[in-house]
Amino acid sequence: KTKIILDVDTGSDDAVAIMTALLSPELEVLGICTVNGNRCIEMTTENTLRVVEYLGSDVPVFKGCAMPLVSSLQPGRRPHMPFIGQEDPEENVHSDYLDYLPPATIKPQKQNAITWLIDTLMASDGDITLVPVGPLTNLAVALRIEPAIADKIKEIVIMGGAYEYGNITATSEFNIWIDPEAAKIVMDCGAKITLIPLDATHRACISLAECDELDAMGTKAALATSEFARYRIKGYRVFQPMEQDDWGPIHDALAVAAIIDPTVLKDVRQLHVDVDFSGGSADGMTVCDVNFRDKKAVRNAAVALNADREKFVGIIKAAMARSER
Ligand code: BDR
Ligand code: CA
């Protein structure tokens, strides 16, 4: 079994990623850290707990950073983010993202995500894979407190970034855009990194027909996945039309699928990836040196530029079939 730690900002695609991980015998989920991102930290933690409780799992959940390192301090730099630090958790107990799941009655652990991450990695044999699928704030803070964790990490499999085009700005993907300084710290930490940008996740879409198949499967996880996927497909028609009108990406689940079966990723290239945080039009961009212009630059990440859609959906369906009814 591959030991993993998920780091999530649960929203609907994080929810599918968590369910896939918890339901896959190839993986042992040691814990789940939460971070500010899709929603404020209270809501991403609540949503994470909902998913864990829904599946009857006892995996520990650790609450992490409530704010990005720097980006939200600069006026005007994050104009699209009304919810960073401004969300009223009381008003949002019934998240529009995960309303399908009952409110959580279980609680996060008392220890915070950062110290747990450091303690767990330092006590390990270097056999833990980190799977951050939200902004990289928690891991960046952990690296700043204890840089020695970099040598203890087996691999970091990140959902984030974009080579061809962004989903928040022309150049920038959400997870990196929220906290580009954190992303830069992580990209340069020296650990083995696989980066799964939008270029890959947009090619690993799930279709409405496949949602029907999940419904027919009828397990708890299949029904929730179908619900979330339908919500996403509908949203993407407006937000960012995909190649086909009846399908949408489940970004974060691709990172989990890639640990279960690395061949789900296609066109994987070992590259130097820099992160821009200049505040200009490339702010939050993962700058991928695909033509090796900088000969001296360290090739710090394996970047997936494509994915095997059929294989991805197969992994999701196989996981969801294992849940109870
Ligand atoms: C990423 O941003 C978040 O909205 C999703 O959960 C995913 O991790 C996609 O850009
Ligand atoms: Ca996410």
Q: Is the pLDDT of residue 97 over 70?
A: no
Which residues carry out catalysis? 9
Range of weakest confidence among 65-74, 163-172, 246-255, 269-278: 65-74
What percent of the chain is modeled with pLDDT above 90? Answer: 83
Per-residue pLDDT, 157? 99
CB 49, CB 108: distance < 8 Å: yes
Cβ(226) to ligand 1 under 6 A?
no
- Choose among 158, 197, 171: nearest CA to 285: 171
Cβ(179) to ligand 1 under 6 A?
no
**Average pLDDT in the chain:** 93
Which pTM value belongs to this model? 0.95
Q: Is the pLDDT of residue 48 over 70?
A: yes
User: Mind listing the pLDDT tens digit for each residue in 101-143?
Assistant: 999 999 999 999 999 999 999 999 999 999 999 999 999 999 9
Give the number of whichever ligand sits closest to the CA of residue 176.
1
Cβ(252) to ligand 1 under 6 A?
yes
Distance 114 CA to ligand 1 centre (A): 21
Per-residue pLDDT, 89? 53
Distance 7 CA to ligand 2 centre (A): 9
Per-residue pLDDT, 187? 98
Give the number of whichever ligand sits closest to the CA of residue 80.
1
Q: Is the pLDDT of residue 96 over 70?
A: no
Distance 292 CA to ligand 2 centre (A): 30
User: Mind listing the pLDDT tens digit for each residue in 290-320?
Assistant: 999 999 999 999 999 999 999 999 999 999 9
pLDDT, mean of residues 188-206: 98
Residue-by-residue DSSP string for 120-148: HHHTS-S-EEEEE-S-SHHHHHHHHH-GG
Distance 64 CA to ligand 2 centre (A): 14
CB 95, CB 43: distance < 8 Å: yes
CB 21, CB 250: distance < 8 Å: no
Per-residue pLDDT, 88? 56
Per-residue pLDDT, 74? 79
pLDDT, mean of residues 63-83: 75
ipTM above 0.90, yes or no: yes
pLDDT, mean of residues 166-178: 94
Q: CA-CA distance, 252 to 24, in Å (whole number)?
A: 15
Give the number of whichever ligand sits closest to the CA of residue 251.
1
Cβ(175) to ligand 1 under 6 A?
yes
